[in-house]
Structure 1
Amino acid sequence: MGAMAQIRDGFQSRLGFVLAAAGAAVGLGNIWGFPTQAANHGGGAFLLVYFIVIFLLALPALYTELYLGHSAQANPVVALRNACSEQSKKMGAAAGYIGLSGAIVMLSFYSIVAGWMIAYSIEPVARFFGATAVADFLNSDTTLRNFIFTPIILILTAGIILQGVKSGIETWSRRLMPMLLLLLIGLIGYIATLDGAMAGFKAYLVPDFSKIMDPDLIIAAMGQAFFSLSLGVGCMMIYGSYLKPQENLPKLACSVALLDTSVAFLAGLLIIPAIFVAQQQGVEVFQDGKLIGEGRLIFAVLPELFATMGQVGLLVALCFFVLMSIASVTSTISSTEIPVAFLVESHGLERTKATWLVTLVVFVCSSVIIVNFDWLFGLVIMLFTQYQLPLMGLFYFITVGWMWRRGNKLLQVTSGPHYWFAQYVRFVCPILMTAVFLNVAFS
């Protein structure tokens, strides 16, 4: 094991880590989930509660997960097994395996959606060159399209993972994340010039304080904050384990949360004004006072809006879906790294073999979902987001707060801010997490 520890790849720079971890966290949840939740829960009021919740629940959870990985300098199965006492080692390892299978499940549906983003990115290019039949196919919701684009995403992801942490994950995160931010800001600037955008900014930024204590809003914000930082799968644990042993974790956790939250905030500044612009153009946006479903929003409302913009619309559509594709790839990378690292470290496989094996398994799972799309796709997403993520988050809090003694610096402090933080992780976080879970699971 000693020899392995020396050659374990890792992040070379803090910026590289922050961009990679934020990339793992910035996914479709931020860019399509967050604005929809905000629009349906009183705009500015939701924003305010969301920021509070990020601070109270998601940030400690992020820190806890990074801390577990960083202390173990190993993949989640090993990290959780080592963190648990002798009696509960099996439980720790089991939680690690649940996280691994969760990563595979997440990849199997996420890769399908990411494939759609790439198809939608190519569509305006095809339209521009007059290839209408191709454009219509790219826009169609067919099994064939899924079987073409899901493998494309899997191969793109594998290509990055094969290069390792430093040359693959870190290098690509440093390229893709700034591009994502530039596209996002550019699109906000353009949408802001259109008719109806101002009403959107107002709806998004001005809080309706009467809704602020609404339990639905608070729970929606807690759930969204937790999923937005992609906690509970082990992505952050594996990235934490690639940090150098002497890194300042609290500071890094804050940077990741800040960048992730900024992207979610910016996504709202883009999507909500865009919805109001679409409404101005006569596109149906609201049903029964609620925003049209999240999937429909990205794949129906916005493309209809882009279509009303003429030739410029093609460029705007291209930028938007390239943005979405980048957000999805930075997330598929981190989820793929979890099982790959496990196979490399715990089973001695070469990285190349491990990567292709994981990719193949995910492709098989994706294929099963594609073939049974109507009933399986929604079910898998629901089980994953409503049950697995909150329960794993709860388990991390309990592990760090209660079960893990040896090498756990959090439980050794007896006074000062660290002591209060440790007590907070032990007592308050599990209660908040349980509240989110019970509400989401049984509402």
Structure 2
Amino acid sequence: MAQMRDGFQSRFGFVLAAAGAAVGLGNIWGFPTQAANHGGGAFLLVYFAVIFLLALPALYTELYIGHKAQSNPVKALQSAWQEKSPKIGAGAGYLGLTGAIVMLSFYSIVAGWMLAHALDPIAKLFGLDAVSQFLSGDSSTRNFVFTPLMLLLTASIILQGVKSGIEAWSRRLMPLLLLLLIALIIYMGTLDGAAEGFKAYLVPDFAQITDPDLIIAAMGQAFFSLSLGVGCMMIYGSYLKPNENLPKLTFSVAMLDTGVAFLAGLLIIPAIFVAQQNGVEVFQDGKLIGEGRLIFAVLPELFENMGQMGLLVSLTFFVLMSIAAVTSTISSTEIPVSFMVENHGMQRKQATWIVTAVIFVASMAIILNFDWLFGLVISLLTHYQLPLMGLFYFVTVGWVWKRGNQLREDATGLHYWFAQYVRFVCPVLMTAVFINVALKG
């Protein structure tokens, strides 16, 4: 007998949840850094173009597969490949499942860093210097404490299901994230040096628009920022009601995600110039210093220079980063949980704790072998698996999947041209992203 599936109860709840899955540290941490290192306004223009040319169709494709199948990625891709080779489809689903666990194993560590830094200003406020040094320092002990905390926080939301957990918490966290982000932008804009940062970010140098490195960076960032390639969007698409307007919802999710990335640039890039105005070293050889140092050295040093106000700004900023991390971890955790519930008949509670335990073990292995394993895991996932899975989704929808695929069966008018675009143009663009990102990696 078919099991009754949980699902999103409103379009608004879905948009916030799916955008929350997409909005992560890549938007608030990675996007501004890429923009700062690739011409500011010029990068912004190319990024917006790439969102429409590649990322939006990729997002639609992944949501579409899940929405039509109304099942987890393993079942959905197996069904789509039924007439060709269901084993290939299922194999790709298992690869995405593995990718989600791998991503969570390092993402939970980074999310733990954000949580620790969010607590640091509170420790400073109460004069707990030893605690502050522990929270802001870089130690395996801190990782052993805060990584499990983030895993437990994620599990507590997943245990409540889609409607009461993912959707309900997305409705709370996403508006809070936007509120904190806008408040920080307004405050940062009042500081010396911010005007120069706004100009660098918003005024494009059109001579840089044709720079191949800029175009490649924008293509990679646009694809990765929407959390595509491991099945997050596929499982969220499967929780939509069958009669939903998927193109409209896809557009809403992409625009909200892109809007957050744009706002993040309005915060981080002026903050970089404010830090420079305060004597903080920000650029080396014309490039912004490493992303890790930006978040955990440059900005904290800036906050330190602000005195008591800096404690509030630091608290707000790292709470913002923690929220961005949690909205992403819950979507990735839902992938293996839904698989165990649907394919193996487990109860959600049992599946959640098993998945959390597996991720915990994987995270501990990375922490114990941090120097070589952390970077390797991130590189394998972002440089190879994500673009390859994106390409696989385009091939699945455009070339392999026939029965039940309305883009192939009865596409007319605009739908026909979009179907041809997905079939012929998107795979070429996605292949270009993979080759160039892999070469750079």
> What's the TM-score once normalised by structure 1's chain length?
0.99
State the alpha-carbon separation in 2 of the partners of residues 402 and 38 from structure 1: 35
2:363 is the alignment partner of 1:366: yes
CA deviations on 1:305-343 (whole Å, 9 max, x unpaired) are: 000000000000000000000000000000000000000
- Output aligned runs, 1:189-204, within 5 Å: 189-204=186-201
State the alpha-carbon separation in 2 of the partners of residues 150 and 414 from structure 1: 47
2:30 is the alignment partner of 1:30: no
2:396 is the alignment partner of 1:430: no
State the alpha-carbon separation in 1 of the partners of residues 31 and 439 from structure 2: 22
State the alpha-carbon separation in 2 of the partners of residues 414 and 371 from structure 1: 52
CA deviations on 1:231-254 (whole Å, 9 max, x unpaired) are: 001000000000000000000000
CA deviations on 1:2-40 (whole Å, 9 max, x unpaired) are: 3x1xx2000001110000000000000000100000000
2:240 is the alignment partner of 1:250: no
Aligned position for 2:75 = 78
Judge conservation of contact 1:222–1:436 (CA < 8 Å) in 2: yes
1:273 to 263, 270, 275: 270
State the alpha-carbon separation in 2 of the partners of residues 309 and 87 from structure 1: 62
State the alpha-carbon separation in 2 of the partners of residues 225 and 415 from structure 1: 28
1:399 to 393, 396, 407: 396
Q: Which amino acid aligns with 1:73?
A: Q
- Corresponding residue SS for 1:170: helix
State the aligned residue count: 440
State the alpha-carbon separation in 2 of the partners of residues 442 and 257 from structure 1: 27
Aligned position for 1:51 = 48
State the alpha-carbon separation in 1 of the partners of residues 84 and 211 from structure 2: 43
Q: Which amino acid aligns with 1:283?
A: V
State the alpha-carbon separation in 2 of the partners of residues 415 and 345 from structure 1: 35
* CA apart distance, 1:127: 0.2
CA deviations on 1:379-405 (whole Å, 9 max, x unpaired) are: 110110000000000000000000000
- Corresponding residue SS for 2:244: coil
Q: Which amino acid aligns with 1:46?
A: F
* CA apart distance, 1:414: 5.0
Aligned position for 2:324 = 327
- Output aligned runs, 1:131-170, within 5 Å: 131-170=128-167
Q: Which amino acid aligns with 1:336?
A: T
Aligned position for 2:86 = 89
Q: Which amino acid aligns with 1:349?
A: M
State the alpha-carbon separation in 1 of the partners of residues 316 and 387 from structure 2: 33
Once superposed, which parts of structure 1, at least 4 consecutive aligned residues long, lie more than 6 Å away?
none
- Corresponding residue SS for 1:74: coil
Aligned position for 1:385 = 382
State the alpha-carbon separation in 1 of the partners of residues 269 and 96 from structure 2: 34
State the alpha-carbon separation in 1 of the partners of residues 306 and 407 from structure 2: 55
State the alpha-carbon separation in 1 of the partners of residues 34 and 134 from structure 2: 31
CA deviations on 1:115-143 (whole Å, 9 max, x unpaired) are: 00000000000000110110011011000
2:342 is the alignment partner of 1:342: no
Aligned position for 1:188 = 185
State the alpha-carbon separation in 1 of the partners of residues 23 and 76 from structure 2: 24
Aligned position for 1:99 = 96
Aligned position for 1:305 = 302
2:110 to 107, 110, 113: 113
> What's the TM-score once normalised by structure 2's chain length?
0.99
State the alpha-carbon separation in 2 of the partners of residues 233 and 213 from structure 1: 31
* CA apart distance, 1:415: 3.2
Judge conservation of contact 1:85–1:405 (CA < 8 Å) in 2: no
1:231 to 210, 228, 231: 228
Q: Is there any run of 5+ residues in structure 1 with no aligned partner, and where?
A: none
- Corresponding residue SS for 2:6: coil
State the alpha-carbon separation in 2 of the partners of residues 245 and 127 from structure 1: 51
* CA apart distance, 1:423: 0.3
State the alpha-carbon separation in 2 of the partners of residues 415 and 269 from structure 1: 41
Judge conservation of contact 2:7–2:163 (CA < 8 Å) in 1: yes
Q: CA RMSD in A?
A: 0.6
Q: Which amino acid aligns with 2:157?
A: I
Judge conservation of contact 2:84–2:400 (CA < 8 Å) in 1: no
* CA apart distance, 1:442: 1.7
State the alpha-carbon separation in 2 of the partners of residues 87 and 431 from structure 1: 22
Q: Which amino acid aligns with 2:313?
A: V
Aligned position for 1:179 = 176
2:441 is the alignment partner of 1:440: no
State the alpha-carbon separation in 1 of the partners of residues 262 and 300 from structure 2: 21
